[in-house]
Amino acid sequence: MVTMRVAFFGGTFDPIHRGHLRLASAAADAFALDRVLFAPVGNQPLKAKLPAASFADRLEMTRLALSSTTGNLQPATCSFLVSTLDAPRPDGQPNYTVDTLAALAREYPAADLFVLTGADSFLTMRKWRSPDRLLALAEWIVVSRPEFPLAQAQLAELALAPGQLARVHLLATVQEDVSATELRRRLQAGDPCPGLLSPAVAAYIQAHHLYR
For ligand ATP, the closer CB: 1 or 143: 143
**Least separation, in Å, of the C-beta of 122 and ligand ATP?**
7
Residue 174 makes contact with ligand ATP by CB under 6 A: yes
Residue 145 binds ligand ATP (CB under 6 A): yes
The smaller minimum CB distance to ligand ATP, of residues 16 and 91, is found at 16
Closest CA to 76 of 23, 21, 29: 29
CB of 164 to ligand ATP, least distance (A): 19
Beta-carbon contacts of residue 29 (< 8 Å; ≥ 6 apart)? 75
d(CA 139, CA 112): 8
Contacting residues for 202 by C-beta, under 8 A, at least 6 apart: 192, 193, 194
Work out whether 176 is an interface residue with ligand ATP (CB under 6 A). yes
Distance of alpha carbon 143 from alpha carbon 31, whole angstroms: 12
Name the residue with the smallest CB distance to ligand ATP.
118
* Per CB under 6 A, 118 contacts ligand ATP: yes
Question: How many CA atoms lie less than 13 Å away from 143 in the CB half-sphere?
Answer: 24
Among 107, 120, 132, 191, binds ligand ATP (CB under 6 A): 120
Number of residues that bind ligand ATP (CB under 6 A): 19
Please check whether residue 84 is in contact with residue 117, taking contact to mean a CB–CB distance below 8 angstroms.
Answer: no
Task: Please select the residue that binds ligand ATP; options are 6, 7, 14, 66, rule is CB under 6 A.
Answer: 14
Q: How far apart are CA 101 and CA 87, in angstroms?
A: 13
Q: Which residues bind ligand ATP (CB under 6 A)?
A: 11-14, 19-20, 23, 117-118, 120-121, 143, 145, 174, 176, 178-181
